[in-house]
Every structure is written in structure tokens, then in C-alpha cells.
Chains A and B, each alone.
Chain A
Amino acid sequence: MLGVVRQKMLGQSLPKIRPVVSVLRSYSSAAKQMTVRDSLNSALDEEMSADPKVFLMGEEVGEYQGAYKISKGLLEKYGPERVRDTPITEAGFAGIGVGAAYYGLKPVVEFMTFNFSMQAIDHIINSAAKSNYMSAGQMSVPIVFRGPNGAAAGVGAQHSQCYAAWYASCPGLKVLTPYSSEDARGLLKAAIRDPDPVVFLENELLYGESFPVSDEVLDSSFCLPIGKAKIERVGRDVTITAFSRMVGHALKAAEILEKDGIDAEVINLRSIRPLDRSTINASVRKTNRLVTVEEGFPQHGVGAEICASVVEESFAYLDAPVERIAGADIPMPYAANLERLAVPQVEDIVRAAKRACYRSVPLAAAA
């Protein structure tokens, strides 16, 4: 009912609110650009330089400069004792990393993609996540598991799954999903400094993207808090939550929606566990509508958890059912046309936001 009233109001011309597409903080006018790849590389470099206990381990991280060149130059700078190329055994090097962390080193373990972390998942869950609790604080595990997560382009089912929901369901772990270069730098530094095990989910397609970074972000002591989401774009009509690459899609969708008179608020989750429920709920209480966006499979996904949280805490504020955008409930197909249909596109987010605003829209995507 309220939604109908709102709809009518939106139909009238309202003073246009200039959307803030880039980051909210006011930076110095000459903002530098930095790729996500360089952000991660610089964060690793600075943390390794600051703390001799930090070391990097994974397949191809040393001589090859990293499978995605994230660890470029680090072997040369820090030597093979601190940048270790490992044999091909995810279970092996995850276990070794956990052991090293038990003893007090701070390993950063790279999985070539998180799909391969499945071969090490026992160490991540049963050893890393649970040890501090099971040993009553005697064995802490200050480890970071990082690597690309989610779909890339044309890599098929075993290279495209998003593991955010899997890891975020396990207490004892912290799960982070950076989007921009600022996120990458700040969250990776926070993860390395954190005494708990952190799963750091990057995205291959974001590595090459550039974002503006302020001097504050470039400072070596820069750090973002774990568990705080970021409002990338302030809005009034509908809340769109997203993480990782989908934040970019959500922002593009917001631009399109603006032309149709819908002012979307885009939240970059940054942290899946702990989930910033208070920011999400505060936003929904303001806009009364919610669209969750994620790349991963819909069942038991991040959107499902957000929806439950909002229903539990802000039910009275919802004017429309929560819309969930997720990847198709199938193993990722390889063919380019099928892949495009299996991963959320900008148009899907636009349509979902319109549905949440009770606009009539076609249900399915055009092939």
C-alpha cells in the first residue's frame, strides 16, 4: 500500500539528486588511479616489510611472479624463505600454513582459484576455523587464505564457483570480498594483521580494473575495519546489496535506474562474515525495498542470509518482498552465450529493482 503511494510520488518529477558514483569521501582533486592487482601487490609488500613473520605461499607465487601476477617482484625482494613456491597439493600447503600459524608465523596462502581450495577445505574448516575454539584459546591461527573467487570468463564449471556462502557459514572464519582498489588494499592489510583465520575472496576480472585512490589509501598504515560495509552510492528508493564484481554491476544498474526515476542505494558489503547487518538494515529502513545481488548459487547464498536478517529485524519497514539476484542454479556452462545467461547481468539488477518498486517489467532476460 505504501509502495503504491511511493510509486505515485516517484512518478512526479522530484528534484534530482546527484548520484555519487565514486567513493563517498572527498579526496584531493588529483586522485591517483591504481589497479586492484597493484593494490594487492602493494598491500602484500608493505605488510611483509612491516612484519617479518608474514610470508607468502602457494603455487607459482615466486618465480612465476604469481599466477595472476599479484605477487610480482616479491620473491626478488624478500627471497625464497618468505615467498615459497609449493608443490601441487592444496591440502599440503594449507595444512603447512595452518601449522606455521599455530606456531606464530603469519602465512598468506594463495589458492590459484578458490575452486581448488576444495581440496584443502578440511584444513580451512576443521583446523584453521575451529582450533582457537577447540583449544580454548591456546592455538590461534593468524592465517590468510586468498585467491580469485567466482566466475571469470569462459573457464567452465570447476573454475567459476563463488565460495562466499560456503566459508561464511562457518564460525571461526572471517570472509572478506573486496571490490575496489581501496577495498583490496585496506582489507588485505586488515586480514594479514588479524589474529583470526581470514578467507580473502578476490575476483580475477577485477584484477585489471583501475580505481581512484587517495593519499590516505596509499599510506602504508591504511587499514579498513573488518565487518563494515560501505555505502558506495546513497539513495532513497531501493537498497541494492552486492559484493565483489557485482558492486560494479550494481552501480551501473543504479545509473540506469536513475534515468527511470528510481534512486538506488548501493551497498558494497566488503565483509561477508561478519556481515554488517546494521548498515544493511538501516538502509532498508530508509528505502523500504531490498535487492540482493551475488554471483554464487542462490540456495543458502549470501542473499538468503541478508533476506533473513532483514525479515528478522526490519520486517515492518519492508514495502515489497526482497528480490534476490544470484547465479543460475547450475554448474557454470562454458559456452559464452550460456555463461552470460548464468551470471547476473546489469539488466537483471535493473529489472529486479523495478519489480521491488512495483514497476511492471518483463520477468526473464532476453536471450
Chain B
Amino acid sequence: MAIWCRVSSRTIANANHMRKFINPASGLSPALNRGRPLFSDGNRRHLDSLPRNRATRVWFQRFKSTLAEKQQDSFLSSDSDEDLQSLQFPGGKVSYTSEMNFISESSETRVPCYRVLDDDGELIPDSHFQQVSEEVAVKMYSKMVSLQIMDTIFYEAQRQGRISFYLTSAGEEAINIASAAALSEQDIILPQYREPGVLLWRGFTLQEFADQCFGNKADYGKGRQMPIHYGSKKHNFFTISSPIATQLPQAAGIAYSLKMDNKKACVVSYIGDGGTSEGDFHAGLNFAAVMEAPVIFFCRNNGWAISTNVSEQFRSDGIVVKGRAYGIRSIRVDGNDALAVYTAVSAAREMAVNEHRPILIEALTYRVGHHSTSDDSTKYRKLDEIVYWKNARNPVNRFRNWVQSNGWWSEQQETQLRNSVRKQLLEAIQVAEKAEKPPLSEMFRDVYDYPPSNLEEQEKHLRETISRHPSDYPSDIPV
């Protein structure tokens, strides 16, 4: 059951109805419309829109909170049904009714997904998005291509036995790069493991990626982790940790620290569709809402958790509807549309930082590659499904068409870029492969802040053993 968004006038109309424009003069959009429901099922209002021109910078939208819930803290509303009277309970006033109604397990229509470019990379008429400059757009596109090529080459390297493991982000290049592009360098990233593009955007070099995968002396992780477990303090990218979803409550904790320090920055934490089943997802989102922490929870709903399809993962309408359950503002976005992702993350960031609130973004996409080099996904899904998404719904091609239509990219630049990146990668791999491994002296460091006596003894013991039996110790590993 692949998930994709249809571009239809109904979708666009719905999307329009979800938005509220800022009146720049008034400054604060939440001040507008307070107390009036903005979006509720069957009660859509079309809001007055300011004049806009697709080609120029458009107004920056804010998503209104679920104001429908904010009842006046006073008497019964006089215009309500006779049945609706109100009761005081811990947690506030709640109206009651004598008609028994269960809230349906799903709404009639699924939450629509926000997109700006159609499948061919053409801008959808009357769409709202944050304009990007030529420089940023070209950088975004180049990084998407680099990520694609990096994935291909490292995957091949694993297949050749040169590295032990790899996992690709094929199909999710727009999510990786566009979300990173919308953030600032001070924003702190807690990744799951399929977001190396965020590091790539921030300036991690191809050599640095290769060094981690080969676990050599230059690896910032000192060869302690499996490949793809990148981490870089200077890039504000927390070292990837294998247990799923543990980064979500940690993100809430870091966001809380940022708030206490009054920093103008937020935390962005990524999770897949499968990871939202973990207990930590509940804890992280619930806590972030209660603590009013500036964190963006970015869910990459790519349809598959190894071989578990989303229909077996949850019965809700994806992840976006879960936001409301925690009191968190949420949006569903077409994850293969780089401009839509960019706009949504920019808006989310502003709300998170300025209003101290968590935001949930569900980006719908498709995992084109296998889960990892330990997986063969043709065993549990059809090959033509994979091929369809790889070709017809490719986010890189889509964005290229848009960039090209603006006159910012050419075929020649394409060829040059691809060749150059490929060459750099092959060189990086060669260098990384030949580089020395981390020395023995690093093995006992960093267990604690300062090495305790028992570890010093262990190291001493080991060195004595090596000096007594040098032929048993590999000659190419430095001590």
C-alpha cells in the first residue's frame, strides 16, 4: 500500500483553507482569529487572502493552532444546543451532551498533504511557498545529487566487501536536504539514521563520511561504531544511536535546555514511520508539549519499516493525526517535494523558536532502497513498485526540473557535477581504505571522562602482553 498524494483542485482548496495569512502590520498572527475555530471537519472557512504573485516572494504563512479547543473560560455559550452544557473536571471545563456519540476511529477524508511542485517539477498554480534564491536552490540540488551518488557508491563498496554495512536514503533526498536547508547552523539535530543529507548540507565532507564508514584514524567516532553512525559536535549533529526512537525524548530534553538558556534555536529530531510505534515516541511528544519545548519532530513516513508495511504498523491516518493527541501542531507534507519540505520546516522552526512549542511534521515519501545492505526488499514488495517510485516519483528529478525551468541549471552542469562527485567519492574511499586504523591507545579512552585505574591497568596489561607476543598482534594496527 504505497502512499502518495494526488494533486487535485480539491486538495489545493483544502490546503488553502488550512492556512492563515499574517497581516504584516499586526505582527502576531495568533492574535488574529483567537477564539474562532479555524479548521474543523465540515466547517471550513475561506479566509480573506492578501494579493499574491506566484513569482514574487509570497507571504509567509503561519499555521494556526487548534483554536477550536480553546473554549471561553466562562459560562455556557448561549448559542449552543440545549444539550451542550458544561461540567468542571480536573483538566478544565468540558461540555456534555445526552446523546451518546463515539468519535469515529477515522475521519471521512485523510489529512491532505501539502505540496507545491507537481510530479514533473512544475509549480502548482496558486501555491504558497517560501521562495528560495538561485544560490540556495542550486546548493540544494547539488547536495541532493551528491547524496544520491554517495549512497550508490558506498552501497557498492559494501557489496564489494570494503565496508561492513551501509544504508541508503534513496528516495528521501528532498527530505534530507530541504529540511536541513531550512534550518540554521545552531539548530541541533538528533537523527534516526537515514538523514546523512543533513550532515552533507552542513558541510561534512565526502572524505569525512568515508572515514567513518571505514572506521579509520580520521573518523570522529574513533572507529567505535558501525558505518553510517555519523556524529559531529561542530556540526551540531548528534552521533547516531541504533536503538529506535530514543532520540525523541532526548530531543525534548535538549530543547528544554535551549529554552532554559534562552537560545534562539530549536532541536530537530527525525523518526521513521516504524519508530512512532515505540514508547519513546509517546514519551517524547507528550513531554515536549507539556514542557513547551522548541523541538520539531520530523517523521519520514516512507511506507516501510524493514518489511513491515505501514498498514501493519498503525491503524491511524498516518502520523500527522497523532500530533493533536498530544496537543502538538502538525502538518502533513509531500516529502518528495523539496520546496514544500523547505517551506514547512521554515515555518515550523519559526513557531518552535518564537512560540516555544513542539511541531510535528509528517513527510510522506517512499523508501526506494532496501532497508540496509542486510536486506533484500524484493522479498516482501514488488519490484515494479520500487521501480515506479524510483523513476516516476523521483524527488531529485522533480526538483531539477524546477531549478532548470528557472534557468539556474543546465545539462552541462549536471554532467560536470555528477562526474566530479563520483570522482571525489572514489578518491575518498581509496584514501579512507588506506588510512591507518585508530591506535590501541584510543580503545580505553572516553569510557569515562577520565580513565579510571582499572582501565589503565587493563591497557597496561594488554601492552605487556603485546610486547611479549608481538607476532600475535596485527602489524598494521598502530599501538
Q: Which residues of A contact B (CB under 8 A)?
A: 81, 84, 86-87, 89, 91-105, 107, 122-123, 126-127, 131-140, 171-172, 174, 194-196, 227, 274-275, 277
Contacts and interface: CB of A to CB of B under 8 A. Distances in A.
A101 B241 CA distance: 16
A262 B280 CA distance: 54
Query: Which residue, of B231, B247, B260, B446, has the highest number of chain A Cβ atoms within 10 A?
Result: B446
B60 interface: no
A298 B109 CA distance: 59
B379 interface: no
When A and B form their complex, which 8 residue pairs have the shortest distance between CB atoms, in order from nearest? A92-B283, A99-B253, A95-B249, A99-B250, A96-B253, A100-B253, A135-B239, A136-B222
Given A99-B252, A138-B233, A195 B449 contact: yes
21 contacts: A81-B260, A86-B287, A89-B279, A89-B287, A91-B280, A92-B280, A92-B287, A93-B283, A95-B253, A98-B253, A103-B258, A105-B257, A122-B246, A123-B250, A126-B242, A126-B246, A133-B446, A134-B229, A196-B449, A227-B453, A274-B452
B448 A196 contact: yes
Given A133-B447, A227-B452, A139 B283 contact: no
B461 to A, nearest CB: 12
Query: Which residue, of B219, B249, B255, B447, has the highest number of chain A Cβ atoms within 10 A?
Result: B249
B451 to A, nearest CB: 11
Contacts of A99: 190, 247, 249-257
Given A95-B280, A194-B449, 15 more contacts: A87-B283, A87-B286, A89-B283, A92-B282, A93-B283, A96-B283, A99-B256, A100-B254, A133-B447, A134-B239, A139-B233, A174-B448, A196-B448, A274-B453, A277-B454
B243 A91 contact: no
B256 A274 contact: no
Contacts of A227: 452-453
Interface in B77-91: none
Interface in B155-190: 188, 190
B257 A103 contact: yes
A123 B246 contact: yes
B286 A89 contact: yes
A132 B250 contact: no
B287 A127 contact: no
Contact of B250 (A84, A95, A171, A277): A95
Contact of A127 (B222, B241, B446): B241
B238 interface: yes
B348 to A, nearest CB: 19
Contact of A89 (B190, B224, B250, B282): B282
A138 B249 contact: no
Given A81-B260, A103-B258, A137-B445, A126 B249 contact: no
Contacts of B253: 95-103, 107
B225 A134 contact: yes
A273 B286 CA distance: 34
Nearest to B234: A138
A81 B262 CA distance: 13
B338 interface: no
B220 interface: yes
Contact of B224 (A97, A123, A133, A174): A133
A134 B241 contact: yes
Contact of B283 (A91, A137, A194): A91
Contacts of A136: 219-222, 224, 442, 446
A142 to B, nearest CB: 8
B272 interface: no
Given A92-B249, A103-B254, A122-B246, A134 B447 contact: no
B284 interface: yes
Contact of A102 (B250, B280, B286, B290): B250
Contacts of A274: 452-454
B430 interface: no
Contacts of B222: 136
B283 A132 contact: no
Interface in B429-479: 442, 445-449, 452-454
A126 B193 CA distance: 16
Nearest to A119: B279
B316 interface: no
Contacts of A94: 249
B256 A139 contact: no
A262 to B, nearest CB: 32
Contacts of B233: 135, 138-139
Nearest to A136: B222
B205 interface: no
A102 B287 contact: no
B345 interface: no
A135 B250 contact: no
Given A137-B445, A137-B446, A274-B452, A95 B246 contact: yes
B449 A138 contact: no
Contacts of B239: 131, 134-135, 138-139
Nearest to A194: B449
Given A103-B254, A103-B258, A134-B221, A95 B446 contact: no
A101 B257 CA distance: 9
B248 interface: yes
Given A134-B225, A135-B239, A136-B224, A96 B252 contact: yes
Interface in B183-229: 188, 190, 219-222, 224-225, 229
Contacts of B286: 87, 89, 92
B453 A87 contact: no
A99 B231 CA distance: 15
Interface in B293-340: none
B246 A127 contact: yes
Contacts of B445: 137
Given A195-B449, A196-B449, A95 B232 contact: no
Contacts of A138: 220, 231-233, 239
